[in-house]
């Protein structure tokens, strides 16, 4: 039995509603079940399980997927562990599967190396290393829990222990080959060793620290990346602290191994640390499995403040809206803090932390003011007062000298870039309100300034493009062409095609480019996404539409990245002669964001028992509606371009606009005729709403 066969056997043996029902009280509702979501707090059930489709979806928090996705989310485990959990629940013996699967020998070698390093530290030869560890007040429990060890200052300590595994040692950089002598030597020598584990507890690499007084310039050194270790996807301490992080749904991101170890010794066992790299999106995705709240604990120097800005943008962008910042005076790190204060005091310090969005907005507006405040407030003897003082500055606006008019103008310019990058309209509105509060100006006036700046920047961009192209209107351009005229919409490719948004970044309310300052474009963008997702749901539930409307579907210019990804999967299956049913969402290894986007729509669609004829009528209406929306989007873009166009270009643009207007009226007439034959699809939607999608 291979992995694929095991997955199918689990699905057939363990109904999704039966397993999830162990953790959620489910009540039957038509063809589905409903209950209170286990992933967020709610009073009214919005968590739905649809057995015939094998999916779950929460209409409150948006989480969704298949049975395996539920276990990964609920238990905070990788896919392989989810398979093992479900196999046990289904009473399936997987010992044969585990024996048949080949495991990279590097994992076993790394585990044995970690044990050797730990044994050396606590043995007779490791006395100077153990003396240093004990001198830093690291106790036996922490040494055991984190399996801290030491590598002797010998060239071939590991090589002599594992003489037959040279090739594997070299592949994962436990050993290196000298270019001069051609001999191999241990990569880690004379260092305190910290095993780095992935979220399943497997050792994937090491971090090493030299003893004080060493002439080695590399104070800290990590394993180089290998087939088993990618530093952007691993967080030190996550496995060791996973139980507490998962229970509290809280994590503290620090800078190094000792920070994590020190905090854990005080009882604050919530620390994790990236490994010689800044926080990455992969790190954030890893944290989201176990935590809902993240606090960055950083140095208050210039580098720390900038790292906080980047970290705040990353955390907020990935959904950690409640993330926070705690700063330490220059020269003090979390390990120093843990040696000086107990866990209860540290937790009290953290209560004064600053919300990431407040920090990000103020830092963007007045970085110099913030820098001076950090220098003034930093006192290693009173570490909590730094963050408290910065928080007071941000919330109470306690400026030493209130910013003048020129400073405020410069602040608005800096804020413009941050504001334009925010896709969510609600968050964008909040940021504008907070910036207006800090600047002591009316929020309406600020938003108007930001829109004017965006329009001006767009105009300058178009003018620059025209200058580069050299006034080529009318030369070799068909009425439908956009090349050489400086009229490409924001974000378009040289062919005039606007790439779909990445999966997960699109959705109702999201905007980009000129949509930031054009409500009409934003509205059309939202309707296009809803229309495309409705089309994909119809294809998922009725594969026959693809053969009947393949030409029209291939002509779709996708606005929604998630829909385009799903379309490519369905198209590939069709062209290879494979059919599908609704389970294709589960079997196609789609990105989690795509699965979540469509599991909810499928769950909702499951309650609509439409006839085939009505469904096909709706499908045809959706295709027509998409063409209308695309034409209207181009018309809206052209109206914006005409503002900055010269007379020659205005003439061309008006010709193009008129053609689109005529095309739109023709398509709208076809849509009205189609809708008149199928009135059930138009009873509850507005004129601009995609058919089959309720408001």
* Secondary structure (DSSP) of 656-674: HHHHHHHHHHHHHHHHHHH
What does each C-alpha distance from 612 to 583, 609, 615, 620, 652 come to in angstroms?
A: 19, 9, 5, 12, 45
CB 390 within 8 A of CB 427: no
> How are beta strands 191-197 and 149-151 bridged, if at all?
antiparallel
Query: Per CATH, which fold does 3-100 belong to?
Result: DNA Primase; Chain A (3.90.580)
What's the chain's Rg over C-alpha atoms? 30
Token digits for 667? 């398509």
Express each pLDDT in 659-671 by its tens digit.
889 889 889 888 8
State the pLDDT at residue 484: 25
Per-residue model confidence (pLDDT) at position 644 = 66
Residues 65, 85: Cα–Cα separation, whole Å: 17
- Taking the C-alpha atoms of residue 271 and residue 252, their distance in angstroms, rounded to an integer, is 5
181 near 199, Cβ under 8 Å? no
* Residue bearing tokens 């959904």: 319
pLDDT digits (tens, 9 = 90+) for 533-578: 999 888 888 878 877 888 888 888 888 888 888 888 888 777 766 6
Among 169-178, 297-306, 475-484, 564-573, name the one with the lowest average pLDDT: 475-484
CATH 3.40.50.620 fits 242-396, yes or no: no
Taking alpha carbons only, the member of 258, 187, 254, 184 closest to residue 222 is: 187
Predicted confidence band of residue 592 (pLDDT cuts 50, 70, 90):
confident
Q: What does pTM read for this prediction?
A: 0.60
Q: How confident is the model at residue 467 (pLDDT cuts 50, 70, 90)?
A: very low
| Average pLDDT of the chain to the nearest whole number | 82
> How many other C-beta atoms lie within 10 A of the C-beta of residue 575?
10
- What DSSP state is assigned to residue 273? B
Query: Does pLDDT of 679 surpass 80?
Result: no
Spatial contact of 294 and 287, defined as CB atoms under 8 Å apart: yes
More confident residue, 159 or 213: 159
The whole-number average pLDDT for the span 264-290 is 90
Alpha helix stretches (DSSP H) within 3-135? 3-13, 16-20, 67-75, 79-90, 95-100, 105-122, 127-135
Torsion of CA 608, 614, 616, 618, to 10 degrees: -80
Length of the chain: 695
> Can you give the pLDDT at residue 83?
85
pLDDT of residue 218: 87
Nearby residues of 419 by Cβ (< 8 Å), 6 or more positions away: 428, 431, 432, 435, 450, 516
Q: Where are the domains of the chain?
A: 3-100, 105-229, 242-396, 405-468, 513-681
Residue 619 confidence class, pLDDT cut points 50, 70, 90? confident
pLDDT at 482 over 50: no
Instruction: Give, for 408, the enclosing helix (H) or strand (E).
Output: helix 405-421
Count other Cβ atoms within 10 Å, centred on residue 482.
21
Q: Which of 43-57, 75-89, 227-241, 471-485 has the lowest mean pLDDT?
A: 471-485
Identify whether the C-beta of residue 557 lies closer than 8 Å to the C-beta of residue 629. Answer: no
Q: Please, which pLDDT band fits residue 498 given cuts at 50, 70 and 90?
A: very low
User: Mind listing the pLDDT tens digit for each residue in 368-422?
Assistant: 999 999 999 999 889 999 999 999 999 999 888 889 989 999 999 999 999 988 8
**Domains 242-396 and 513-681 are alike in CATH topology:** no
CATH 1.10.860, applies to 513-681: yes
Q: How far is CA 408 from the centre of its chain?
A: 33
Q: What is the pLDDT, as a whole number, of residue 95?
A: 66
Q: What percent of the chain has pLDDT over 90?
A: 41
Beta-sheet pairing, 47-50 with 149-151: unpaired
Show Cβ contacts of residue 280 under 8 Å, excluding neighbours closer than 6 positions: 232, 233, 274, 314
- Is residue 193 within a helix (H) or strand (E), and if so which, with residue range? strand 191-197
266: confidence class by pLDDT, cuts 50, 70, 90: very high
| CB of 202 closer than 8 Å to CB of 107 | yes
- Least confident range from 73-77, 136-140, 424-428, 648-652: namely 648-652
Tens of pLDDT, residues 134-147: 999 999 999 999 99
Closest CA relative to residue 139, chosen from 245, 267, 241, 243: 267
Instruction: Please state, in angstroms and rounded to a whole number, the distance separating the CA atoms of residues 385 and 690.
Output: 55
Residue 545: CB partners within 8 Å, gap ≥ 6? 538, 539, 616, 619
Q: Does 694 score more than 80 pLDDT? A: no
Q: Which CATH number fits domain 105-229: 3.10.20.30, 3.40.50.2000, 3.30.2270.10, 3.90.980.10?
A: 3.90.980.10
């Amino acid at each position: 039995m291979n992995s694929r066969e095991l997955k199918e056997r689990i699905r057939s043996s363990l109904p999704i509603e039966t397993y999830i029902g162990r953790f959620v009280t489910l009540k039957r509702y038509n063809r589905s079940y409903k209950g209170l979501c286990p992933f967020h707090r709610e009073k009214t059930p919005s968590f739905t399980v649809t057995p015939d489709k094998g999916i779950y979806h929460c209409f409150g928090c948006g989480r969704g997927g298949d049975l395996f996705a539920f276990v990964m989310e609920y238990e905070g485990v990788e896919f392989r562990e989810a398979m093992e959990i479900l196999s046990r629940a289904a009473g399936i013996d997987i010992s044969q599967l585990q024996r048949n699967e080949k495991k990279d020998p590097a994992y076993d070698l790394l585990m044995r190396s970690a044990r050797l390093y730990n044994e050396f530290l606590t043995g007779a030869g490791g006395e100077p290393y153990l003396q240093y560890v004990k001198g830093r007040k690291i106790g036996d429990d922490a040494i055991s829990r984190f399996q801290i060890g030491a590598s002797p200052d010998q060239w071939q300590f590991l090589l002599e222990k594992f003489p037959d595994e040279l090739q594997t040692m070299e592949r994962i950089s436990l050993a290196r080959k000298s270019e001069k002598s051609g001999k191999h030597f241990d990569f880690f020598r004379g260092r305190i060793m910290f095993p780095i584990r992935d979220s399943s507890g497997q050792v994937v690499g090491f971090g090493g620290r030299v003893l004080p007084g060493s002439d080695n310039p590399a104070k800290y050194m990590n394993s180089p990346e290998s087939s088993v270790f990618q530093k952007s996807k691993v967080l030190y301490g996550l496995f060791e602290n996973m139980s507490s992080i998962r229970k509290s749904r809280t994590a503290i991101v620090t800078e190094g191994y000792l920070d994590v170890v020190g905090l854990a010794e005080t009882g604050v066992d919530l620390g994790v640390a990236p490994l010689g790299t800044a926080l990455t999106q992969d790190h954030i995705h890893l944290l989201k499995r176990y935590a809902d709240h993240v606090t960055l604990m950083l140095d208050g120097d210039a580098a720390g403040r900038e790292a906080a800005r980047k970290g705040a943008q990353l955390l907020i962008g990935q959904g950690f809206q409640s993330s926070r910042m705690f700063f330490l005076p220059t020269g003090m790190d979390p390990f120093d803090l843990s040696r000086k204060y107990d866990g209860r005091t540290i937790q009290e310090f953290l209560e004064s932390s600053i919300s990431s969005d407040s920090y990000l907005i103020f830092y963007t507006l007045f970085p110099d003011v913030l820098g001076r405040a950090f220098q003034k407030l930093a006192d290693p003897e009173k570490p909590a007062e730094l963050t408290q003082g910065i928080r007071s500055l941000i919330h109470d606006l306690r400026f030493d000298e209130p910013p003048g008019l020129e400073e405020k103008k410069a602040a608005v310019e800096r804020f413009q870039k941050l504001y334009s990058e925010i896709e969510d309209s609600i968050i964008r509105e909040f940021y504008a309100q907070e910036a207006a509060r800090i600047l002591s100006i009316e929020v309406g006036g600020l938003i108007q300034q930001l829109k004017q700046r965006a329009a001006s920047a767009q105009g300058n961009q178009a003018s620059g493009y025209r200058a580069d192209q050299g006034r080529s209107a009318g030369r070799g351009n068909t009425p439908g062409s956009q090349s050489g005229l400086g009229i490409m919409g924001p974000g378009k490719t040289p062919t005039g095609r606007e790439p779909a948004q990445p999966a997960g970044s699109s959705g109702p309310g999201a905007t980009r480019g000129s949509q930031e300052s054009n409500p009409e474009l934003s509205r059309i963008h939202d309707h296009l996404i809803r229309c495309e997702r409705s089309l994909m749901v119809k294809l998922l539930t009725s594969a026959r539409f693809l053969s009947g409307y393949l030409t029209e579907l291939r002509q779709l210019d996708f606005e929604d990245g998630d829909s385009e990804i799903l379309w490519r999967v369905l198209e590939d299956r069709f062209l290879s002669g494979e059919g599908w049913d609704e389970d294709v969402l589960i079997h196609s290894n789609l990105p989690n964001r795509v699965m979540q986007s469509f599991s909810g729509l499928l769950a909702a669609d499951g309650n609509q028992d439409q006839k085939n004829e009505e469904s096909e009528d709706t499908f045809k209406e959706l295709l027509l509606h998409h063409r209308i929306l695309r034409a209207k989007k181009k018309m809206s873009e052209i109206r914006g371009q005409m503002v900055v166009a010269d007379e020659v270009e205005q003439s061309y643009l008006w010709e193009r606009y008129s053609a689109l207007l005529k095309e739109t009226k023709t398509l709208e007439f076809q849509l009205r005729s189609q809708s008149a034959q199928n009135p059930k699809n138009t009873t509850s939607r507005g004129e601009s709403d995609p058919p089959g999608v309720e408001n």
